[in-house]
Structure 1
């Protein structure tokens, strides 16, 4: 894809297509425009199909229900509007050259079904119409559907969709996986602009920073078109915020809720409000839409954890354990979100918009930990068998910090339609920050005990003498404080130009454009070590915070961070930790220049979309190299890397009928290394070197998707898709030894040769409106994705990290005039978390199934009372090494219950 012959031919084809498109300017130039709405007012109909069958000319309605058909030859035609769940509507129109004909439609419900403005079936129906109208393969969930589940953030809302699974942090959804591909292999955009990652070393976007209340819809594109960024192998996730034109007239919704955390016994408040209105400016053709949404959530919760970190000796039989940790977390999480959006329309041909989104996410976390390390008589580590007692070193540790993450996004743009041309342009700016002010990153009170042992390899249970639980047994050893300041900025401009025309009697569109994006990732850590408290004999008993509510075993007292901070001035040694303070500091610039051309042709029931995208990437990275033996970090490291990619795509859509669609796609995508993987920092300790690899090649993937969609009633569909991904240059953590005099061991990241991913995605969704009452209110949604993968590490083959063989959702809903019920289950099978130096050291996450429930009751037409239950079965997070019997990490959170009230007015 990178040879000169392909580039030259592409330029020639692009020029020929542009000349062909421009040469049609004198051809048929009549236009049709209008709006499609429902008999019930309140919601704009996006995704309705508007067709002139005799010309095979078709389009779909936009967010506000409007449509445009350009380059229509003069004549009399039948115009047909199709919307899933509504009666097929037809009318006759007369088109004149150089004139615009307006034709609006008001759709009515089918005789045996019901088109609703609100409710479970209405939200599902809205999403299915948009999916059916798309030229590529995508899944969509609307704001109304999000409200049917107890989802607090964008990540959890996505987990209900086909092919999607999530990774949770402290029980809340955070990172998103698409079709079994790790979060770093998926892209996230907000209103068309790339969403940066708050975490210092990550490219993956933690979507728990975005409250679900700010979202109008979530779209997951699984087959990219050339006009999209190509940085997604799994899928591209688009977060769309509210527009006033999504609804007609004035609209508002406000809710208040209280959530009870069973683990801590705390009750937490949440408030949210959404409002929008459309104002006419002088005449009906000029409209200003204003929409705003705000959300605030202040949650107290926690978790219990026991983990070995893989400290098993599998050479023993049975395996011995070198040590483990007991951890207890108490967390206060505050999430505040605000979005204010402006839309201006001058007729249907001129649109201008300003989209803003701000989210602040703050975690106040206290972690109490007891770290047990078994030792033998000479003081070396010992892998102890279950039930065998002996000496152990114990450190009672505290981590007490406040982490703040912010995401801000601003997009300004417009769309202008002039004759058969459409000009779509936008400029976007987004910034994500992660900030941790100076805090206790680790404080340790230490002691040694005899008669220490353990039982149960899945949830290690400590066997200890009474002195272990006595705070007076421990003396302060050291304290480490840390501050973190990371920032990820991205700004871009794009221009897309399209031209509708006919090639003979074939309706066609030529589209081309480009995008320039500039990204800067900065990471700055500052770590201070306070040590040598040994001569002061500071007992832990002077700094306790009371008994720790650790539910997996007896624990004893915890450490009070406030009391401990007062003794830092008494430290015998205070020094800056050069390794952690400088090796993790870096600045990385990533510039991407992109251009594309694509063409769409309708041939009878076929729609063919093909094109090419070109992306050129230029990366520079600055950091430091630290030498442990010299105890200095003065060597600056700077790297640069550049590469380009030609990425062809072909999408084919065949309409078997109005209800059934065959789809096929061949696409190519590229995902760049994470900032951690290409970090220029380097740590040298004798003959051991740890470093990033700025010279990594990006992941490249050639993707094939084939499937069928059948829409057979309101909110009802059957879908099946096969997908295959041929991946090269995949990236993995590597260890190798150089053949030099010191036999230097390099711990870094490397490119693998090849990997394959293949799978099957199934979707079934049905509203049983044809059943007699009361069963006509039943709604069932089910999806399952079966995936397999193989990656070649050279010495062995593994599945790709984060890839579950099976993920699925099952939801059973019921709705009538006064209540709405929903019971849902989300399942994912085990998956590889990370590779070790051997198969025995590989870490796997065990299978998980979370069960949630929602009940809504209409007190009046505009007031709802709702109850929600989350994680009703107390599903734990369990990681193991080699076999499910051997713990790497076990953590449980308990269920959460919510009670709330919502006021809505259309």
Structure 2
């Protein structure tokens, strides 16, 4: 690899030199489109080559290909597509050679099976993967319906090396190679999507309507023309274009789902339409609506254990959630081709996510801690949280491609905005009581046992009510261009590409909090404060006896009659407000040369980051607010080399050396802080605007063998050398926080590394005898081993090794499918191993919080009533797998939550 590092500047120099001399032998173009012979549908990812010149490229999403400036002469054009026959055509190049190539797909002879069935989606994915210069995995839009998944995030967990993070049982965020969502990048139509969450960069992929998609591509080895801000990989969502198909397209579905936890039945509607007008104008529109009532049962300790002998539990809380989520997605896309050399497009997205949540909680605190099965005096707090959160994402992208005689230019500008608004809501209504005999059973899933009075609302009085409202806005604007050129250098195909990008991002967060307390001083009697005045029915809670719930309306009646101005918490309101501006300027140059079956791609990317943050903190020891504004910039040079060697039409080997970065999240950078003083104790919590970006040097090697019919077996190894990784820690008692009892913040770690192996096997058995040829099997396994080092000052430098936070050592997926012209069924499983969530105590691993391993089984069955109409049934989380996190050892609860099963029944109409 060192030799390659020396050669790459030489090749780039040769590229630059050759560009200075005009070419006299290049005289024509070879243009065309690859389509399915039976359906006329465009075939993306077909390998197109001009044999005599060793010129190669893949067909685009509309099946088209373009060879510019081809020398005059007679040649052989070859088109290869997995799952189809090889196309060969002799051609004579003069000025322009137009090709209309058709490939016969091998299948069952039923059109919609070829187009949208398991084989069709598998064929599209494998062809794109085989043709790529770097290591990618592709999920076509058709595949979304072949798995029992309700959104893009859940569908992506079937891709090798991918697992997901769930929120209330729903898949929302994607993990690549076991790495946390904020370590990965998400783009749509070539532009980054902003995040409505105040503290994150990661985008929940359930906000994008699946009916608007053409494909989702996961890139694990970045090339210099790609944004460099990812450690695990980059996810690119490509929305529907009318030119993805050759005729009018209509897709309408309606669905009802049953939630086992709440017994609710929930509706879903979706539809998409596209058409081509006058052969050069394409229009695609899509819409989806989903309204879901569901819930979960939870019990958590938050890691509040005392591990002194004997081990005692200090705090535990029961939680019952009742949730409604309504999603609306809209998109309209326009493509215009004024002539054969220019393509223009507009891509739009509107997504609305309204989350209404009611949470009833019982929190128990034992002053001296409690032994299991030992009744002990405790303080209990019954609480209510009731809020609505409205999230929305808007995006518009304008761009195009122009092909000149010797150059191709791509250009794009975009504007995106994400908002999260929480109108005035109940952040916590707390009713307190004291009891003599409260105990717990089972340290993993604590069950509370208590005297009868514990469950009586008459024994609790209202202590305080927290009311809050907040608003987050994340706005991004960007512009970029790319210039590329291909020619022959010493009879070897050579290409060069360079470009630049500028993006400006602003993240604003504003929050206001009111605390209503000391009710007796305002003439409110104990009888009026009794929980019996606010109590509702007992929740349907499966993890022990719960007691009465708390109704929101009486709480609102109480606080609305009180003085809000006097209740305003100026400290909490101000320290959570911030503005962060982030401007990124980037430029790159890269090129490749083909030497027989080897393609060498090399280049370098430069990124300059300028960041400004504004916020304030409160120092209780000085009884004053302190402004905390930062203005800093940093830059990165990020070289990369990729080798792609095609041993044969069936076998591809790849190797790469790349450099990437991950910028801290906005929650980690937040400038607000709070220093509290209680007698002699000092406690602080704060973000860290001075955090360094994580940097990674990545080494990857892979080999893929594509088998007869549709199948692949592959192995990929990767190693990541990481500096400046970020973790959450309590620095109290260490270094400059020596006088603090607690100092919770985010810090850069010393170094970390990840060593991993990905294995995948995919096979459809169309080559087998009748009765077997309908089978499809897919499986993948990712193994990784990570080590990170953290250190602190305590009578000298102390330190210990930990796993890289949020890094799973093992992720695995498997699915068994069967398909014929009448039915399609698929059973699938997704697994991810435990991973470190938080370092609670720097010097004591016993308090590290881990999320436990998780396995989920899902099932889907379809019946093809006609070529256009399909009825489907889906069963999600068939084994009722819970969420579990633990403290130090698996038997000590940090959080346990159950979600139940979900069943869906729907009907879909697709007309091509």
Q: Does TM-score exceed 0.5, indicating one fold?
A: yes
CA distance in 2, matches of 1:584, 1:22: 56
Q: Measure how far apart 1:266 and its partner are.
A: 0.3
Distance 1:742 1:311 in 2: 23
Q: Matches of residues 794-805 of structure 1 in structure 2 within 5 Å?
A: 794=791, 795-805=799-809
2:585 is equivalent to residue 597 of structure 1: no
The alpha-carbon distance between structure 1 residues 894 and 92, as it changes in their structure 2 partners (threshold 3 A), is same
- Show CA shifts across 1:428-476 (max 9, x none): 1111111100100000111111111111101111110111111111111
Counterparts in 2 of 1:758-773, with a 5 A limit? 758-773=755-770
Alignment correspondent of 1:175: 173
Q: For 2:303, which of 310, 318, 321 is the aligned residue?
A: 310
Q: Which residue of 2 aligns with 1:568?
A: 559
Question: Contact 2:146/2:826 (CA < 8 Å) preserved in 1?
Answer: yes
- After superposition, the C-alpha distances for 1:615-646 in whole angstroms (9 at most, x for unaligned) are 0111110000212245443x221101211111
Moved more, 737-746 or 842-851: 737-746
The 8 Å contact of residues 578 and 632 in structure 1, kept in 2 or not, is answered as no
**Farther off after superposition, 536-545 or 801-810:** 536-545
Deviations 1:474-515 (A, max 9, x none): 111110011110111111000100011110100111100000
- The answer for the alignment partner of 2:795 in structure 1 is none
Matching residue of 2:822: 818
Mapping of residues 438-837 of structure 1, within 5 Å: 438-534=424-520, 536-537=525-526, 538-569=529-560, 571=562, 574-633=566-625, 635-686=626-677, 687-736=682-731, 737=733, 743-744=739-740, 746-794=743-791, 795-837=799-841
- Report the 3-state secondary structure (helix = DSSP H, G, I; strand = E; otherwise coil) of the residue aligned with 1:885: coil
Post-superposition shift, 1:24? 3.9
TM superposition shift of 1:12: 11
Question: Equivalents in 2 of 1:44, 1:622: separation in Å?
Answer: 51
Hey, what does 1:377 align to over in structure 2?
A: none
The answer (yes or no) to whether the contact 2:108–2:820 under 8 Å persists in 1 is no
User: Alpha-carbon deviations, 1:726-756, whole Å to 9, x = none?
Assistant: 0011112233346679724643222212100
Q: Which segment is superposed worse, 386-395 or 334-343?
A: 386-395
Question: In the alignment, is the contact (CA less than 8 A) between 2:25 and 2:72 conserved in 1?
Answer: no
Separation (CA, whole Å) in 1 of partners of 2:11 and 2:694: 28
Q: Hey, what's the Cα distance between the residues in 2 that align with 1:825 and 1:477?
A: 47
Name the CA shift for 1:883/1:289 in 2 (closer, same or farther; >3 Å). Answer: same
- Please say if 1:41 is aligned against 2:39: yes
Residues in 2 aligned to 1:298 and 1:22: alpha-carbon distance in whole angstroms: 61
In the alignment, the residues of structure 1 paired with residue 403 and residue 164 of structure 2 have an alpha-carbon distance, to the nearest angstrom, of: 40
2 CA distance for matches of 1:25 and 1:34? 24
Q: Deviations over 1:524-559 (max 9, x none)?
A: 111110111245211111212212111111111101
Q: How many residues align?
A: 885
Per-residue displacement from partner, 1:287-332 (whole Å, max 9, x unpaired)?
Answer: 1010011000000000000001111100122x10012000000000
Deviations along 1:836-871, one digit per CA (max 9) or x if unpaired, are 212011011111100000000011111111000000
TM-score of the superposed pair, with normalisation by structure 2: 0.95
Distance in 2 between the 1:895 and 1:760 partners?
33
* Per-residue deviation, residues 166-208 of structure 1 (Å, max 9, x unmatched): 1100000122111111111100001100011111111222222
- Aligned-partner Cα distance in 2 for 1:13–1:608: 9
Gaps of 5+ in 1: 1-5, 375-380
The question of whether the paired residues in 1 share the 8 Å contact of 2:209 and 2:330 is answered with no
| 3-state DSSP of counterpart to 1:386 | coil
For residues 523 and 552 of structure 1, the distance between their equivalents in structure 2, rounded to whole angstroms, comes to 36
* Cα distance in 2 for residues equivalent to 1:111 and 1:548: 53
Is residue 196 from structure 1 mapped to residue 200 from structure 2 by the alignment? no
1:612–1:648: 8 Å Cα contact kept in structure 2? yes
- 1:205 maps to 203
Task: Say what the alpha-carbon RMSD is for the aligned residues.
Answer: 1.9
Is 1:297–1:336's contact at 8 Å kept on the other side of the alignment?
yes
- Secondary structure of the structure 1 residue equivalent to 2:211: helix
Cα pair 1:41 1:248 within 8 Å, conserved: no
1:715: how far off?
2.9
For residues 25 and 588 of structure 1, the distance between their equivalents in structure 2, rounded to whole angstroms, comes to 50
1:659–1:678 CA distance, 2 compared to 1 (3 A): same
Distance 1:113 1:82 in 2: 20
Please tell me whether the aligned partners of residues 730 and 840 of structure 2 are also in contact (alpha carbons under 8 angstroms): no
Gaps of 5+ in 2: 792-798
Shift of 1:725: 0.4
Inter-partner Cα distance in structure 2 for 1:131 and 1:554: 53
Distance 1:256 1:660, change over 3 A: same
Deviation at 1:110, TM superposition (A): 5.0
Other structure's SS at 1:406 match:
strand
Tell me if the contact between 2:475 and 2:507 (Cα under 8 Å) persists in the aligned partners. yes
Q: Give the match for residue 63 of structure 1.
A: 61
Q: What is the alpha-carbon distance in structure 2 between the residues aligned to residue 265 and residue 348 of structure 1? A: 56
Deviations 1:38-62 (A, max 9, x none): 1122531111111111111111111
The whole-number CA distance in structure 2 between the counterparts of 1:111 and 1:51 is 25
Work out whether residues 360 and 407 of structure 1, in 8 Å CA contact, stay in contact via their aligned partners in 2: yes
CA contact (8 A) 1:131 1:138 kept: yes
Question: 1:743-784 CA deviation, whole Å, 9 max, x = no partner?
Answer: 246432222121001100011100001221121100000011
CA distance in 2, matches of 1:300, 1:112: 40
Q: Counterpart in 2 of 1:904?
A: 910
SS class of match (1:23) = coil
Q: Secondary structure at the match of 2:368?
A: coil
* C-alpha contact 1:823 1:852 (8 A) present in aligned 2: yes
